[in-house]
Chain A
Amino acid sequence: MDLAFSPEDLQFYEHVRDTLAANLPADIEEKERLGQRLSKEDMLRWQDVLAANNWLAAGWPAEYGGPGFNATRRYLFEQAYGSLYAPPPVQFGITMVGPVIYNYANQEQKDRFLPAIRENKVWWCQGYSEPGAGSDLASLKTKAVRDGDHYVVNGQKTWTTWAHWADWMFCLVKTDTTCKPQAGISFLLIDMKTPGITIRPIKTIDGDHEVNEVFLENVRVPVENLIGEEGAGWGYGKALLEHERFIMSGSARSRRNLKELRKQVAANSPFAQEISRLEIQLRALEFLELRLLSTMNAGGNPGPRASALKIRGTEIAQAISRLRLEMLGPDAVGVSQGFMEADGSLPAGPAEAAMAMPTYLNLRKLTIWGGSNEIQRMVMAKATLGL
């Protein structure tokens, strides 16, 4: 056993951190620090920086044009990135549809879609959830009926993050309603410009518009947009959920946020006790993450044990956002505010308070999406405890 990273790995960490820090536009960093909303243009501008270093699709193997990091480097990359006030990249292309395409698509599809994802040319959204199919995803109803060289898609998707900014949607659809639910699901790529698609915004509790309802009426999708086998989509979708879990602990950003909170209190403040309690939990999570990585480096597969990272990582991130509210107290109650000094000027500090409540509210999503934490527990009960 040894705890230290190799000097080469540490150099890599510093290289990533310094490169990203040097190229992070000041206005974007400021928005991220204050928890303010980023525009589509902001995100694309930042993702162009990542893409220029071939770090947008950071988890991709070299074979598909990614940087081909091993597990340790992948972890260190996330740690370096997460230590900065740099917006996380939009996941749908790079960690969700990308891996499905390079694992299950045909060569023509790989050539067509992968470079555009890697190079930040196409914005993807995810068409999984439906009004009647949330955690019970297999009960989805959106139907795709074959008509010559097209599928005709009818149905409704929901919670579609940034559908209003997206160029393409990857979608789970029913191509067979006669067999058991999981078996009749196919994985389809849909151009958002196709006639028959209507997007309706959903305003969320934080006052933001991130998610949408997407209605599909007689949307004609060319059959060449089907990934893999008809009826095999459930398996592809499930495989990529596991892919997600490592990144979903969010430990690096939690560490950054907690560090910021500690700067604001004296060691003997009661808040320092709370910060330490969260930090100890966070360290336990970080070392669990490293231990699973170590298993991977030794040739093992942590499998569903990685669900623990999603469960605890999201719980801790939420608890930090809650503690931040408590520390700000009444300063955080207003969501549109400009504090004033006695001389009428606007102070710099409390500007940070304005987004604390919306951030807290927004982060409630963490334990719901990406396979709710209850679903993660079900997965672990079955696969790791044998229940």
Chain B
Amino acid sequence: MNFEYDETEQMLADSVHRFMDDTAGMEKARADAALDKGYSADSWNTCAEMGWLAAPFAEENGGFGLGAVGSMIVEEALGKGLSPLPYLTSVVFSGKILEQLGEAVEDLLEGVISGEKVLSIALHETGKGYGYETPSTTATLQNGEWVVNGAKSNVVSAGAADGFIVSATVDGDGFGLFYVEAGEVAANIREINLVDNRRAGHISFVAAKAARLDEGNGLEIFDNALDEVLIAAASENLGAMQAAFDQTLEYAKIRKQFGKELGKFQVLQHRLVDMSIKVEEARSIIMAAAMALKEGHEDAKSLSRAAWVQSLWSGRHVGEEAIQIHGGIGMTDELEIGDFVKRINANELLFGIPMHHIERYNTLMA
């Protein structure tokens, strides 16, 4: 039992945090979001060169073998930097699905790890909430080839993606995972802005040529990948809430009202303490979940859900209090506070609200 980073983990954390300190932040994130891809291709190249895209993958797959601990470390820094880079969807979500599939998708995974290919995951469907397991999108065999039909919404970085992993219902065979090249749907992507400086797209798949990725075990593969996605996304929330808390604490020490600093008022001191505890609780359980998944503990699945839910509770509490304690200035678009709150909320809606994941947690614990 040891919660201290080892040398490799510390090096990864130091380098990615340094990069974010130098190149990220609100102004940069907003400027990058307005670029063609919705993020900076230069920054993405740096991530690839530094090996951060390889961090969570097994060594035999061309990775650094840090597993969920690796993606957790990278994502915390991305959250702190409000980065719009497609790490969660391309590297963690798509990459961790591909990593379970073996040789058939070797090239694709290599592309993801090298950064040459950016993938996204087409999961959501309008009006279906988190009913992932029963997609309305269908996949059918036509003349020996799979085609996908249906509409997917809120596909993160859709405009920049080279290809999509799509969930679809297979006639008579339930849930399946398919790969569709971006060219198949290029004309059918309607790009939108998410609330948090990321871009996404609604995609219409019209007889889109596809390759089937799973062998009837799509749901299991999806769920395994989700274990790591939830921890990584929780860590992104952690980076955002830690920064929101730090800035609020700093502000409370300088902002004066009634002749004294906000931080001298006991009612605010107690609330700042509670915020700090919320951050520490989230940090602790996220670290534990990442280690459990990396080490293959039997309760890794439930712990991943628990860490995700805690990151949402903590993130919402810290974010809302950060706005409140800043007061009017916290409501303006000039501070980063609002952007942190938006990132945490966007992640919550994209990857699942507490109620949804607690339901799953119940069945895991029953």
Contact = CB atoms under 8 A, between A and B. Distances in A.
Contacts of B303: 283
B64 to A, nearest CB: 14
A207 to B, nearest CB: 32
A262 B302 CA distance: 15
Given A72-B1, A377-B273, A1 B6 contact: yes
Nearest to A269: B362
A372 to B, nearest CB: 12
B358 A284 contact: no
Contacts of A387: 252-253, 263-264, 269, 272
A273 to B, nearest CB: 6
A267 B364 CA distance: 9
A350 B3 CA distance: 43
Contact of A308 (B2, B280, B285, B306): B280
A1 B276 CA distance: 23
A4 interface: yes
B1 A290 contact: yes
A283 B273 contact: no
A268 B270 contact: no
B35 interface: no
Contact of A283 (B249, B270, B306): B306
Contacts of A374: 270
A276 B359 CA distance: 9
B329 interface: no
Nearest to A293: B1
Given A283-B306, A374-B270, A298 B4 contact: yes
Contacts of B273: 377, 380-381, 384-385
Nearest to B292: A3
A231 to B, nearest CB: 29
A284 B310 contact: yes
A266 B252 CA distance: 46
Interface in B268-309: 269-270, 272-274, 276-277, 280-285, 287-288, 290-292, 295, 297, 303, 306, 309
Contact-size category for A: 35 or more
A204 to B, nearest CB: 26
Contacts of B132: none
Contacts of A72: 1
A317 to B, nearest CB: 16
Interface string A276-312: 1101110111011011011101100000010010011
A86 to B, nearest CB: 24
Contact of B309 (A280, A290, A308): A280
B365 interface: yes
A179 to B, nearest CB: 26
A284 B270 contact: no
Contacts of B4: 1, 294-295, 298
Contacts of A284: 281-282, 284-285, 306, 310
Interface string A230-248: 0000000000000000000
Interface string B230-259: 000000000000000000010011000000
A267 B363 contact: yes
A290 B274 contact: no
A3 B295 contact: yes
Contact-size category for B: 35 or more
A305 B276 CA distance: 10
Contact of B280 (A280, A293, A297, A305): A305
A287 B281 CA distance: 8
A386 B266 contact: no
Given A380-B273, A380-B276, A385-B272, A297 B2 contact: yes
B362 A268 contact: yes
Contacts of B358: 273, 276-277, 280
Interface string A3-42: 1110001000000000000000000000000000000000
B274 to A, nearest CB: 7
B269 A4 contact: no
Nearest to B266: A378
Contacts of B310: 280-281, 283-284
Interface in A330-387: 374, 377-378, 380-381, 384-387
Given A287-B287, A291-B3, A378-B266, A384 B276 contact: yes
A63 interface: no
A294 B3 contact: yes
Contacts of A9: 1
B3 A295 contact: yes
B361 interface: yes
Q: Select the residue from B263, B273, B277, B310 with max chain A CB neighbours within 10 A.
A: B273
Contacts of B5: 1
A381 B249 CA distance: 10
B223 interface: no
Nearest to A1: B291
For the complex of A and B, the 3 pairs showing the least CB-CB separation, nearest first, are A267-B366, A381-B269, A3-B291
Interface of B: 1-6, 9, 69, 249, 252-253, 263-264, 266, 269-270, 272-274, 276-277, 280-285, 287-288, 290-292, 295, 297, 303, 306, 309-310, 355, 358-359, 361-363, 365-366
Interface of A: 1-5, 9, 72, 262, 266-268, 272-273, 276-277, 279-281, 283-285, 287-288, 290-291, 293-295, 297-298, 305, 308, 311-312, 374, 377-378, 380-381, 384-387
Given A276-B365, A387-B253, 16 more contacts: A1-B6, A1-B287, A4-B1, A9-B1, A72-B1, A267-B365, A272-B362, A276-B358, A280-B285, A280-B306, A285-B281, A294-B4, A308-B281, A378-B270, A384-B273, A387-B252
11 contacts: A273-B355, A279-B365, A280-B306, A290-B1, A290-B284, A298-B2, A305-B280, A378-B270, A381-B269, A385-B272, A387-B269
